[in-house]
């Protein structure tokens, strides 16, 4: 089991590095595909994956990514509002076919997965985004590994015993501090002359710290949804890891956190 998890994790990392390095349309397309798969997994957990409301959600995601590619962040609010209007229209026209909870689930699924994950592409498109985008991986997967190591060595106080009994306060602190260190090291390497760019070490370290802190919320939120609906994993697409949401749950929160952190800190400097 460990070997399968390790191999699939390495393969996933290689694919992520390749698409993030390419950026542009390839990154947008793979992000859209991952979003749709994750959206389906969430809809399945909520019991609406094959209903008409889900079709509206999938369609909204496809339109959303097309508009993000065409106009970046400017069309995001419009798509979200229009999607809600269409869902509510379907709710009213077909009443009482759907329950209020199903409409809420369809709208939540569109915002929770596709919109949040799209910030991976949006961060890549920022000035110096070809460097800052790696902070998402460092503060998501990097902090997760460091938090695990810190928790194993120092963990004494449970952080969220009902949601994730193995997570500790010490592990969380180690993950955040470790992510900040990784960000600073990354910034130093970029500024060392190996790349034709100079980026702020403060921005890298601070954005990684913010991302790692928010990543814990994303991880626990995904666990809460699974516990509420009595499922162990969202799927089995990734051997040893579960579904897309099981692997990208923290990144859903880390991507927008890093995007806004970088945008704010770069304006401050």
9 has a pLDDT exceeding 70: no
Check whether 240 has a pLDDT greater than 80. Answer: no
What kind and span of H or E run contains 191? none
Mean pLDDT for the stretch of residues 157-179? 80
User: Model-level pTM?
Assistant: 0.90
Is the domain of 103 the same as that of 138? Answer: no
One domain for residues 143 and 82: no
Who's near 99: CB < 8 A, 6+ residues apart? Answer: none
pLDDT band at 237 (very low <50, low <70, confident <90, very high): low
Q: Which residue has the tokens 């991952």?
A: 34
- Report residue 38 as tokens: 């994750």
Supply the pLDDT for residue 2.
Answer: 47
Say yes or no: 263 and 139 in one domain: yes
Tell me: pLDDT of 49 over 70: yes
Tens of pLDDT, residues 99-155: 999 999 999 999 999 999 999 999 999 999 999 999 999 998 777 777 777 777 776
Q: Are residues 264 and 132 in the same domain?
A: yes
Residue range 3-9: average pLDDT? 62
Domain boundary among 125, 151, 169: 125
Mean of per-residue pLDDT scores for the chain: 87
pLDDT tier, 39 (very low <50, low <70, confident <90, very high otherwise): very high
The model's confidence at residue 27, banded by pLDDT at 50, 70 and 90, is very high
Q: Are residues 102 and 169 in the same domain?
A: no
Q: What confidence score (pLDDT) does residue 75 get?
A: 80
Q: Residues of the chain with pLDDT > 90: what percent?
A: 52
Higher pLDDT, 258 or 220: 258
Examine the domain organization and report whether 133 and 259 are in the same domain.
Answer: yes
**224 and 246 share one domain:** yes
- Kindly state whether residues 80 and 150 are assigned to the same domain: no
Query: Which of 100, 125, 150 is the endpoint of a domain?
Result: 125
Query: pLDDT band for position 239 (50/70/90)?
Result: low
Number of domains, the chain: 2
Residue 1 pLDDT exceeds 60? no
52 and 167 together in one domain: no
Which range marks the domain in which residue 219 is found? 128-269
Task: Return d(Cα 22, Cα 44) in angstroms, integer.
Answer: 32
Structural domain ending residue among the three candidates 72, 93, 125: 125
Q: Indicate if 148 and 208 belong to the same structural domain.
A: yes
CB within 8 Å of 247: residues ≥ 6 apart: 12, 238, 241
Within 10 angstroms of residue 18's Cβ, the number of other Cβ atoms is 12
State residue 168 phi and psi, 5-degree precision.
-125, 160
Q: Say yes or no: 134 and 264 in one domain.
A: yes
One domain, residues 20 and 112: yes
Does residue 34 register a pLDDT over 80?
yes
């Amino acid at each position: 089991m460990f070997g399968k998890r390790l191999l699939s994790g390495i393969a996933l990392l290689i694919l992520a590095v390749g698409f993030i390095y390419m950026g542009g349309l390839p990154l947008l397309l793979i992000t859209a595909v991952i979003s749709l798969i994750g959206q389906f997994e969430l809809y399945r957990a909520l019991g609406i994956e094959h209903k008409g409301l889900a079709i509206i959600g999938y369609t909204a995601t496809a339109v959303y990514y097309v508009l993000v590619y065409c106009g970046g962040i400017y069309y995001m609010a419009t798509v979200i509002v229009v999607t809600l209007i269409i869902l509510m229209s379907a709710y009213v026209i077909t009443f009482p076919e759907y329950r209020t909870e199903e409409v809420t689930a369809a709208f939540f699924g569109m915002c929770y997965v596709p919109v949040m994950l799209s910030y991976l592409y949006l961060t890549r498109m920022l000035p110096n985004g070809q460097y800052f985008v790696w902070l998402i991986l460092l503060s998501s997967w990097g902090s997760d590994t460091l938090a695990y190591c810190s928790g194993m060595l120092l963990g004494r106080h449970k952080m969220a015993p009902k949601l994730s009994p193995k997570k500790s306060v010490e592990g969380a602190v180690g993950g955040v501090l470790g992510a900040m260190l990784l960000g600073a090291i990354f910034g130093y390497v970029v500024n060392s002359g190996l790349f034709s760019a100079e980026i702020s070490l403060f921005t890298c370290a601070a954005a990684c710290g913010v991302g790692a802190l928010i990543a814990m919320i994303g991880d626990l939120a995904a666990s809460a949804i699974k516990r509420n609906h009595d499922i162990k994993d969202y799927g089995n697409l990734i051997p040893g890891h579960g579904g897309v949401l099981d692997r990208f749950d923290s990144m859903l929160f880390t991507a927008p956190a890093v995007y806004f952190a970088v945008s704010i800190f770069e304006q401050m400097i």
